């Protein structure tokens, strides 16, 4: 009876939506930056953690470095909707003062607030999903002051939530997009259906970012199976879809998942992980416990020179240029005819890199950009070391630790 009642409400609301319903434009012109609770806290999130995280965004320099969204993931609500209003109810133990109070606190810090739900009948944690309640929930989020919605894909098929059919992903996410537009509050819409339905083919007109894979885990090169689903390590996610960079750009980003920097990787792997997400123009959503972050991790994730590669206004996703003697070499075209080059030691031991710039012709066919080494010399800026490092007139010689990275910004002299 409740579902029928809600569908009637949704249908009535849908009739009032203008035919021009769309996603909110002008958002996420560079990859969104912020923090999401899932990787550390899963469903065990609460008001105190969110407020303390907001405070530390200011104290630790995260806001100054460009991080602005604080997103509560799954587990924030009660197990049932309010029986009379059909509204989602914040968990009274976790959020005793409600969600709007928390959103207001985040906003008081000059930050933006995000929340989570699911396109199916339940969230992945078993809490009430949005299926059949799209317009209802979008209005509630708008009233709370939500700026970012992560929308998951659990309980959307046969035998999973009571439906005997599989929901259509483009239709389901378009419906929620229209509901957000009808609610009248601009929100970044994070499509999180794990890349199963190739969201890069249809997502640009629907959301602002879309996950390309299942969940990330803090391992270098592995798959952690949980029976019906898996977590993937750093390189399996990077290598999963090699032909989708052309679909990413300002306002619509390939999302390689929340960062696991500071969640169990070695210091060298932390550096590589962070640099690679920047080279890939992925959203930078921290997933660690900010309250326990050590100083090397803080310095890494607030490195403005590396972050600038991710936030470059051209919005071009980098690409694997070549593999040379155990080193992966990645290239990213930047604004003002500049380039970023990252060299990753993929081996299990320290290796010496000797790279003659002029020996390897470099062109990005996606944007028709090339480096004419015979006509141009580029100054090198070592972004992790914060220092100039000569130029491309001489070969690059550098010892690099196992699983470590060096990244340079190249500027024509």
Residue with tokens 């997009």: 177
* DSSP secondary structure, 10-24, as one string: HHHHHHTS-TT--PP
249: CB partners within 8 A, 6+ apart? 315, 316
Q: First CA to last CA across the chain, in angstroms?
A: 71
- Residue of 73, 74, 178, 215 marked active site: 215
Catalytic, out of 73, 74, 147, 152? 152
Q: How far apart are CA 253 and CA 187, in angstroms?
A: 15
Taking the C-alpha atoms of residue 413 and residue 407, their distance in angstroms, rounded to an integer, is 18
C-alpha 8: how far from its chain's center?
35
Annotated active-site residue 73? The verdict is: no
Whether 115 and 106 have beta carbons less than 8 Å apart is answered as no
CA atoms within 13 A on the CB side of 377: 8
Cα(262)–Cα(257) distance, integer angstroms: 15
Number of CB atoms found within 10 A of residue 218's CB:
23
Number of other CB atoms surrounding residue 235 within 10 Å: 18
Q: Is 161 left (phi over 0), alpha (psi -120 to 50) or beta?
A: left
Q: Are 352 and 365 in contact (CB under 8 A)?
A: no
Active site residue 356: no
Query: Distances in Å between the alpha carbon of 333 and those of 36, 277, 370?
Result: 28, 15, 9
Positions marked active-site: 152, 215
């Amino acid at each position: 009876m409740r579902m029928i009642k809600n569908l009637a409400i949704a249908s009535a609301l849908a009739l009032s939506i203008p035919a021009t319903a769309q996603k909110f434009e002008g958002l996420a012109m560079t990859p969104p930056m912020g923090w999401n609770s899932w990787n550390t806290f899963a469903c065990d999130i609460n008001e105190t953690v969110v407020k303390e995280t907001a405070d530390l965004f200011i104290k630790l320099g995260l806001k100054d470095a460009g991080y602005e969204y604080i997103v509560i993931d799954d587990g924030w609500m009660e197990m049932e909707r309010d029986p009379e209003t059909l509204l989602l109810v914040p968990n009274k133990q976790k959020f005793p003062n409600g969600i709007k109070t928390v959103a207001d606190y985040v906003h008081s810090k000059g930050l933006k607030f995000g929340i989570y739900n699911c396109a199916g009948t339940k969230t992945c944690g078993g809490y009430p999903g949005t299926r059949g309640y799209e317009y209802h929930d979008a209005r509630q989020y708008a009233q709370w002051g939500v700026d970012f919605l992560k929308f998951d894909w659990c309980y959307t098929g046969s035998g999973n939530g009571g439906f005997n059919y599989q929901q259509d992903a483009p239709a389901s996410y378009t419906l929620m997009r229209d509901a957000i537009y009808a609610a009248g509050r601009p929100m970044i819409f994070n499509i999180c259906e794990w890349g199963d339905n190739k969201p890069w083919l249809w997502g640009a007109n629907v959301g602002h970012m879309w996950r390309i894979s299942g969940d990330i885990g803090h391992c270098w090169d592995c798959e952690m199976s949980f029976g019906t689903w898996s977590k993937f390590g750093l390189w399996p996610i990077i290598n999963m879809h090699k032909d989708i960079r052309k679909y990413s750009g300002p306002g619509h980003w390939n999302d390689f998942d929340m960062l696991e920097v500071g969640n169990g990787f070695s210091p060298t792997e932390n550096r590589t992980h962070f640099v690679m997400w920047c080279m890939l123009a992925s959203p930078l959503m921290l997933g660690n416990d900010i309250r326990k972050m050590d100083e090397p991790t803080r310095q890494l994730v607030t490195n403005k020179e590396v972050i600038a590669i991710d936030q470059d206004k051209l919005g071009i996703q980098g690409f694997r240029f070549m593999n040379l003697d155990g080193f992966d070499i990645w290239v990213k075209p930047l604004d003002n005819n500049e380039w970023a080059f990252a060299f990753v030691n993929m081996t299990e031991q320290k290796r010496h890199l000797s790279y003659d710039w002029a020996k390897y012709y470099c062109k990005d066919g996606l944007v028709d950009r090339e480096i004419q080494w015979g006509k141009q010399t580029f100054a090198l800026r070592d972004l992790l070391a914060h220092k100039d490092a000569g130029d491309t007139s001489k070969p690059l010689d550098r010892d690099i630790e196992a699983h470590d990275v060096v990244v340079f910004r190249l500027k024509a002299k």
